[in-house]
């Protein structure tokens, strides 16, 4: 059987602005500027005519029924739109931690969409592919083509794409021990008490200019779910405050609704030093990586 493989990169929100206003679907209006990381799950897909639905296996297991997995839902959504049978075995080697705000499950779903498009000779740019992606989750359309991207609507509509960074930007990633923050809980807390979102235009201009180095990006970070995450989990607040106090960290914040906190560093050595120190201090999951 022909086995196809695809890396599924994690993401960071350099900007996340959530508005109190809701759309007709009762989703919050959002501006989300996302970038990909060189930290990736690995997704492998093998068509199997003996199946009538996707067979999804995650290593390590994620503790949910297969039919609730985003990879399963993506395969079914794409098959429905193109009149196909989603007869495929899908194996996912998980590296990106769950409930971290790094988009691991959304990236896995997008990888499945790209792999099935390859297997079925479908153009990934076909609008039905993006429609399938949005049906699975707001972040999934970004991962179909994970260059720096501004998404609007509910954070699920691609508004602008920007050139890839001229050089990878070092970052340190720290996810505290314990359970993460569900998106539903984070938005419920946002509805009770929230800050107004920042304007994404300065960051968009920076990315368009091609001059987005570590120092420049660090000066334009914004996420009005950051204080929500810190309020919901004291461990997130502790990690964020510690990271921002490190001499080697130029700027940082929670990504998405948490619970991972990232810091932008000037050099790879600095990111490695801070990641090692974070692991010694907090345990949990920490890693030096790059925005790519």
Q: How confident is the model at residue 132 (pLDDT cuts 50, 70, 90)?
A: very high
148: CB partners within 8 A, 6+ apart: 14, 33, 34, 35, 161, 162, 163, 164, 165, 207
pLDDT score of 182: 86
Q: Record the tokens describing residue 126, joined without a space.
A: 């076909």
Name the nearest CA neighbour of 42 among 100, 108, 119, 114: 108
Say if residue 1's pLDDT is above 80.
no
Q: Would you kindly state where each structural domain of the chain is located, as residue ranges?
A: 3-161, 169-291
Look up the pTM and report it.
0.93
Find out if CATH 3.30.230.10 is the number for domain 3-161: yes
| Catalytic hit among 41, 94, 108, 139 | 139
Report the percent of the chain where pLDDT is more than 90: 87
Model confidence over 176-220: pLDDT tens digits?
A: 988 888 888 999 999 998 889 999 999 999 999 988 999 999 999
Report the percent of the chain where pLDDT is more than 70: 100
94 is catalytic: no
Q: Do the two domains 3-161 and 169-291 of this chain adopt the same fold? A: no
pLDDT score of 2: 87
| pLDDT (mean) for 214-241 | 96
| Catalytic hit among 11, 108, 226, 248 | 11
Helices 127-136, 70-82: axis angle to 10 degrees equals: 150
pLDDT score of 267: 97
191 is catalytic: no
Report the relative pairing of strands 222-223 and 88-93 from DSSP bridges: unpaired
Q: Record the tokens describing residue 145, joined without a space.
A: 């083509």
pLDDT score of 121: 97
CATH class (in words) of the domain with range 169-291: alpha beta
For residues 37 and 201, give the distance between their C-alpha atoms in angstroms, rounded to a whole number: 22
């Amino acid at each position: 059987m022909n086995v196809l493989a695809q890396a599924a990169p994690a993401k960071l929100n350099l900007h996340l602005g959530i508005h109190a206003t809701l759309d007709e679907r009762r989703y919050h209006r959002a501006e989300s500027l996302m970038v990909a990381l060189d930290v990736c799950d690995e997704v492998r897909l093998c068509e199997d005519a003996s199946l009538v639905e996707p067979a999804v296996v995650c290593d390590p297991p994620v503790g949910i029924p297969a039919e609730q997995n985003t990879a399963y839902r993506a395969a079914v959504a794409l098959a429905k739109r193109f009149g196909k049978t989603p007869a495929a075995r899908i194996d996912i080697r998980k590296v990106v931690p769950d409930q971290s705000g790094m988009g691991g499950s959304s990236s896995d779903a997008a990888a499945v969409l790209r792999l099935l498009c390859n297997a079925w000779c479908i153009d990934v740019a076909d609008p039905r592919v993006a429609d399938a992606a949005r049906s699975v989750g707001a972040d999934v359309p970004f991962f179909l083509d994970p260059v720096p991207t501004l998404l609007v609507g509910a954070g699920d509509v691609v508004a602008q794409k920007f050139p890839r960074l001229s050089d990878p930007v070092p970052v340190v990633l720290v996810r505290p021990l314990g359970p993460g923050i569900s998106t539903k809980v984070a938005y419920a807390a946002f509805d009770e008490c929230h800050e107004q979102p920042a304007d994404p235009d300065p960051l968009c201009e920076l990315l368009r200019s091609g001059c987005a180095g570590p120092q420049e990006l660090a000066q334009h970070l914004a996420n009005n779910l950051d204080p929500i995450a810190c309020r919901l989990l004291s461990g997130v607040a502790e990690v964020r405050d510690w990271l921002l106090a490190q001499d080697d960290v130029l700027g940082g914040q929670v990504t998405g609704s948490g619970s991972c906190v990232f810091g932008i560093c000037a050099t790879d050595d600095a990111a490695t030093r801070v990641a090692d120190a974070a692991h010694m201090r907090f345990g949990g999951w920490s890693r030096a990586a790059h925005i790519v």
